Every structure is written in C-alpha cells, then in structure tokens.
Amino acid sequence: MINPAELQLLQDALATLANGYDELPAFTPEFDTQAASEVLQIVAERMQDNFPYYHPQYVGQMLKPPHPVARIAYAMSLWVNPNNHALDGGRASSAMEKECIVDLGRMYGWKNPLGHLTGGGTMANLEALWVAGRLHPGKRVIASKQAHYTHSRISDVLGLPFSSVDIGDDGRMDLAAIETLLAAGDVGTVVATIGNTGLGAVDRLPQILELAHRYDARVHADAAYGGYFGLASELHDDTRAAYDHLTEVDSLVVDPHKHGLQPYGCGCVLFRDAGVGRFYKHDSPFTYFSSAELHLGEISLECSRPGASAVALWATQQMFPLEKGGQLAAWLDLGLLAAREFWQRLSVSDHYQPLLQPELDIVVYAVAADNAQQASDRSRRVFSLAAKRDLHLAMIELPVELVRTCLPDLEANAETVTCLRSVLMKPEHKEWLDGIMKILDECAAAI
C-alpha cells in the first residue's frame, strides 16, 4: 500500500521548502511527540475501517487514488498551510491556482476564462447556477433525471425553479423533452451532464446547445465526473461530439478530485465570459486585498480555501500535462477500454446482464432473475458476497423500464431495480478483469 519512496520524496521536498526560510532567527515549534504518537496509532487503527480504495479490486464508486506527486505536494504545502482566499494568505499557491485554471481552460479551448478551484463539484455547480440565476433572475433550471441530485438542491437554495428532464434508453436527456420545457418560455439554464454519475452517459451537447440558443437559455456543463475524457482517443464519435462542443458552453464544472488524480477538496468552476466576475463584487471591511493584483477571494463564494489543493494540482499538471496523447490521456483510454471489455464479458456471462453500453468508464449490470424484486435481492447478495471475497462493488437503483430495455423478459413487479455498478477508473482495472470476473462468477454460483 505504501511505497517508501514517497516518504523520502516528502522529506526532500520539505528540506528545500525550509531553505527558503533560513534567513529568519531559528524557530522550530515543539510538541509532545509521545502523546501525538499514541493518538496517531489509534487513528491509524481506526482508519483501517475503510474499503481498500487504492486497490484494483475496489471497483465500486468513483474513487481514484491521488497520484503520489499530488499527495506529496499537498502534504508538503501543509507546513506553510496557505489560504487561497487572498494573496496575503498564499502568494505562491494563488499563482499556481491561476496557472492551473489557464491550463484547465485551455483543455476546453478557452483562452481567458474566469475560474477558480472549489471544495468540490457541488460548490462549483452552486457558483455556476448562482451566476446563471443572476443573468436570468427567477428563470428555471433544467437538468437530466440522471443529473447529480445536487442541481435540484442547489436550485432550491438559490430560489430558482427546477425541472428534471426524462432520459432515453441510452441514459441521456431526451431532446424532445428538453424542447417541450424550453418552449414553455421560462427556462434560463439547461444543465448538460457530461458523464452522469450513475451511468456515465454523456448528454448530447451539440443538439442541446442548438436548442438552448433557439430559446435564449444558457448552457451549463456539469463535467464534474467526465471533464477530462476529451483528452482520450478511444471515445465513440457520438460521445466525442459532446466534448468537441464544450468550448461553446457558458460555464463548466470539472472535478480534479475525480479523474484529475487529486485528493478530495478539489473541484473547479470555469466561466467562458470573464465578465461575470462583476457579480462577485463585495466590500470586505477587513480587506486582505492589499494589492491591485487579482485575489482569488474576489471571484469566489468560498472565502478560506486550501492553497494545498492548488499546489497538488499544479504539481500534477506539471508531471501530466493536460494534452491529447499524453500519459493522463493514456490512463483515461485504459479505463474506457476496461469498461468496454467488462461490458463484453458480462454480456456473455450466464449470471449477469450489462445495461447500457458504456460511454465512459462506468458499467451498470443486473443479476439475471425472473422479476425485478428477485434481481434487486440478488444484486444485494452479490454485493455482500463479493465484499467478503475482497471485491468491492457499488449498487444503483434504476427505473424498472430502463432495466427492461436490456432485460425484456424481466417481470416488472417493482418500480425500480437494484443493479450493480462498477467504475473502472484505475489504469490497472483492465489487467485485473480476469480476477474480477472470477470472483463475480463465484458469487453468482453461491447465491
């Protein structure tokens, strides 16, 4: 689990950091190392009570281990503990954040976006919808039934009306349903989910942009999960088209703490028109804003934010630039290929039935059964049995009609079906598929 090289790298980086302060009178804070050691041993034991997220046999939720360079840069920066609210709190880390934003914006073809890091996708979406509401006061937000639940909650927080849009058999928003809502005349913003959390389906962005423009609505792309896949070369054409049009959306959210190899606490919001920065204006009575240069707190709803997140992201983007054909892209391709192969293997299995063909690296599958209740019960049993064999899956509750598009003989004796869900986001997943299938087959035989 722990590569000793990481600890050496951290020590070396800390030594260089400390060199920057050696002109000061010597001062090393002391603490009770014995007491700390005792507590830390207890903490380490308590932390054993987690699923093994770092391991390829964790194929459940969207959990990708941070790259060591991110982890080390993050840890190292804690000895300074910068705050990216204001330059006075973190000059170096604020500069790194701005450079990260330039690179992230460039990935979407934007030269001069307004943007900053956030605590995660939820805060980032909150800011995007807040700006949307300022530009279209009181107007409706619409998003897919499979959109992240955060959009309806955020709309509620912002006092904006919200409607969810039906999806088709492919898990993407139904275009006719979008148009019906737009035609009612009160829609201000269409949220297109670029890789929905449950199914990994990518909404049809080119057509959504066209519809939204016709009805004078904004388009916000929630690419919290899928935002990096534009770098990949293995996308199918239809999915690729959505990525090629991201440059035209009004705002966009991407979570570096999902596919960007970052520790939690790293989301990002970008606005194509930097002019929306005017909405953030405030007069702080205790102004930290001591220079004319942009302080990130002037364009962000959150105040104190970890500079460490920017330091970690900057280090990662140096090592793995956001470019097609690069290492990051190769890893994303491995995930796409792993998902397709997993889907294929499940489709020839006697025990499992995969649902939608994966657009990204998420595979959803049902356990073969006569009816919906039995399928749900079997999914839960496979989930538990697999965990006992150190294979960790996730579950998803899906409308029975969606499941029946792939399992037409399934008797619909319940509204929803519990299915299994696996996110194959680790580069190693593809090589581990043999072992994963073997355990899945053992579990199916055991129930």
Ligand X SMILES: *Cc1c(COP(=O)(O)O)cnc(C)c1O
Of 127 and 333, nearer to ligand X (C-beta) is: 127
Of 197 and 316, nearer to ligand X (C-beta) is: 197
Among 197, 207, 262, 418, binds ligand X (CB under 6 A): 197
Q: How far is the CB of 267 from ligand X (least distance, A)?
A: 5
Among 193, 262, 300, 379, binds ligand X (CB under 6 A): 193
How far apart are alpha carbons 388 and 391 in whole angstroms? Answer: 7
Q: How far is the CB of 222 from ligand X (least distance, A)?
A: 5
Q: How far is the CB of 196 from ligand X (least distance, A)?
A: 6
Q: Give the single-character DSSP code of 433.
A: H
Amino acid, single-letter form, for residue 334: L
What tokens does 317 get? Answer: 């983007």
How far apart are alpha carbons 407 and 354 in whole angstroms? Answer: 9
**Radius of gyration from C-alpha coordinates of the chain:** 23
Of 196 and 353, nearer to ligand X (C-beta) is: 196
Binding mask 224-243 for ligand X (x = CB under 6 A): xx------------------
Of 267 and 354, nearer to ligand X (C-beta) is: 267
Of 53 and 79, nearer to ligand X (C-beta) is: 53
Instruction: Please provide the size of the chain in residues.
Output: 447
Among 127, 255, 359, 361, binds ligand X (CB under 6 A): 255
Indicate whether 121 belongs to the interface with ligand X (CB under 6 A): yes
How far apart are alpha carbons 75 and 71 in whole angstroms? Answer: 6
Among 97, 127, 203, 222, binds ligand X (CB under 6 A): 222
Report whether 123 contacts 305 (CB < 8 A): no
Give the distance from CA 99 to its chain's centroid: 20
Binding mask 136-175 for ligand X (x = CB under 6 A): ------------x-x-------------------------
| Those residues with Cβ within 8 angstroms of residue 42's Cβ, 6 or more apart along the chain or in another chain | none
Indicate whether 90 belongs to the interface with ligand X (CB under 6 A): no
Per DSSP bridges, beta strands 187-193 and 162-165 are unpaired
Q: How far is the CB of 226 from ligand X (least distance, A)?
A: 7
Report whether 226 contacts 201 (CB < 8 A): no
Report whether 293 contacts 87 (CB < 8 A): yes
Which residues make up the interface to ligand X (CB under 6 A)?
120-122, 125, 148, 150, 193, 196-197, 222, 224-225, 255, 267
